[in-house]
Amino acid sequence: MNFSGTVASDFMKLAEIPVIKRPSLINFAATDFLTLRNSLIDYAKAVYPRDYKYFVESDIGMMFLELVAYMGSVMSMKADMLANENFLATATQRPSVKKLLQLIGIRMKGPLSAAADAKITSAETVGTSIVIAASNRTIETTSPEDGGVLTYTLYKVVNGLVDTTNKSGDIILPNAEGLGSPVTVFENLVLQEGTLVKDTGSFAATEGVKTIKLTKGPVVEASVQVFTDGPDSLKNGAFVEVPNVFFASGSSDKIFEVIYDDAYNATVVFGDGSVGVSPDDTSNYYVFYRVGGGTRGNLGKNIINNTMLVSRDSVSDSVSITNNSKSTGGANAETVEHAKRFAPLNFRRQDRLVTLEDYSVFANTFTGTFGTVGKATAATRQAYSSANIIDIYVLEKASDFQLQRATTNFKTQLLAAIAKKKMATDDIVIVDGLIRTLDLVITIRIDREEEQNQDQIKARVRDKILTFMNIDNREFGEAFRVAELNRKIIDVDEVRYSTIDNVGQDISIDFNEIIQLNNLTINIDLLE
């Protein structure tokens, strides 16, 4: 290539200018504010040594550098958080975990209600039966957890299962089912925590997949009952709740699915006519469900002593109602930790029960109309060559720190659910787990200059201990380790060291036992 005139001379002049190689100062590991700030200062000094000299702390130039560092640290934090929330193992936010589990067809559980056996006592024997209208099936008492109003709803039990066959919502108790005279006692009843709600309406003629948005919330798990009526009797009557309507075997399955939002408001979804029955166009629906749930519904025996308005041969009357067993099984919405632990295992068992792990996972995630499992584990014993006897040890949750024996009705319902999925060669026995209560007397040592803060320090230590002893964090057969608890305590900055005064060594337990906290006492020693 030839150049002439000023163009060539100018080009040669430019070509002679030396290229300044700027140093590479990018630190890809810099994510925190201080590191980013120092990196920006180093970069400015190296690249603009003559042009940028605004490094005095009070200078406006430093303000801009720190502003950029701050924005970088926030963006880095959000990028890390978003990356973590995309994987189940590292996700911490409930919406993230919920969406990840939905990808494998598993739904996080909402609030669960407590349940207790109940009996009705009637002083009158006149008439053929007692009728309890749907509007009169709820009674109120006081929650021992928060002192607020607690509502329970009465159900009839038939063959160990809650009766859900009456679309009117009324309960009929024939005198023949009563015991004793002249005072008549009716049993085979259950009180379930939550306020009974009845939604009625009709479907639109042009509607495709039919849905019903329930008007109240939060809806208690496993409490929804659905009835429809219309010209085609094969499409109407009582429907049965299933985890997913698309698992229906055919067009004759009268099933529905309940979909919950983040606040546990619910929508009922029916089949499309090819997978699951689609109710008649313009037919009427009747939906019963309860709102409430949580540990606040767990009560002791005979706490409920109320009266209930009934009808006897169209004449109003009053009967007394009592919970003749503990109210158990109430639980708050499933925790992120519980979901992350059991959901992958639940997915792996593929809706069948073969291994001991399958049985254990199924029991730990089972929700019934009589409550929910607090803790469960499975163990096998060889009985004879043709079958295995599998013992499933269960306890119901009373609070974050207390477990209690499951009710007979709940164990019956759990056994019935297992029977539908178990191996034919397995014989299942539901057994009460054993509770080992533990009292703790703990002394913590702090510096004397922290004396004015000892109440706050004591509170933080208590939180550490309660988290450690929370039954959600303990398992059947898990030993109590003295050193492990002490490590948790000294995580509190002001605590120099601690001792467990009444427990000198580790406590080992059997596979069917679980340790739960009974009483906790914390003492403080001041160090000079």
Residue 223 and residue 290 in contact, taking contact as beta carbons nearer than 8 Å: yes
| Statement: residue 251 has pLDDT above 60 | yes
What is the pLDDT, as a whole number, of residue 391? 93
| Statement: residue 213 has pLDDT above 80 | yes
Mean pLDDT of the chain: 86
Token digits of residue 504: 């000198």
**How far is it, in rounded angstroms, from Cα 482 to Cα 268?**
50
pLDDT tens by residue, 459-490: 999 999 999 998 888 999 999 999 999 999 99
| Statement: residue 447 has pLDDT above 70 | yes
Range in 74-88, 115-129, 252-266, 330-344 the model is least confident about:
115-129
**How far is it, in rounded angstroms, from Cα 486 to Cα 499?**
7
Token digits of residue 511: 């596979």
In this structure, which topology does domain 336-432 adopt according to CATH? Answer: Dihydrodipicolinate Reductase; domain 2 (3.30.360)
Q: How many residues does the chain have?
A: 528
| Statement: residue 443 has pLDDT above 80 | yes
pLDDT tens by residue, 517-527: 999 999 999 98
Strands 237-241 and 367-368, by their bridges, are unpaired
| Statement: residue 48 has pLDDT above 70 | yes
pLDDT class for 372, splitting at 50, 70, 90?
Answer: confident
Please name the residue ranges forming H helices in 5-131: 5-15, 33-47, 60-84, 94-102
**Exposed, middle or buried, 41 (CB in 10 Å: 0-12/13-18/19+)?**
middle
| Statement: residue 19 has pLDDT above 70 | no
pLDDT tens by residue, 134-175: 889 999 988 887 888 999 999 998 877 778 777 788 999 888
∠ CA(372), CA(374), CA(379), 5° rounding? 105
Q: For residues 193 and 125, which has the higher predicted lDDT (pLDDT)?
A: 193
| Statement: residue 382 has pLDDT above 70 | no
What is the pLDDT, as a whole number, of residue 10? 55
**How far is it, in rounded angstroms, from Cα 390 to Cα 381?**
6
What are the boundaries of each domain within the chain?
23-84, 115-194+294-323, 197-291, 336-432, 435-527
Token digits of residue 205: 């003629």
> Taking residues 122-126, what's their average pLDDT?
72
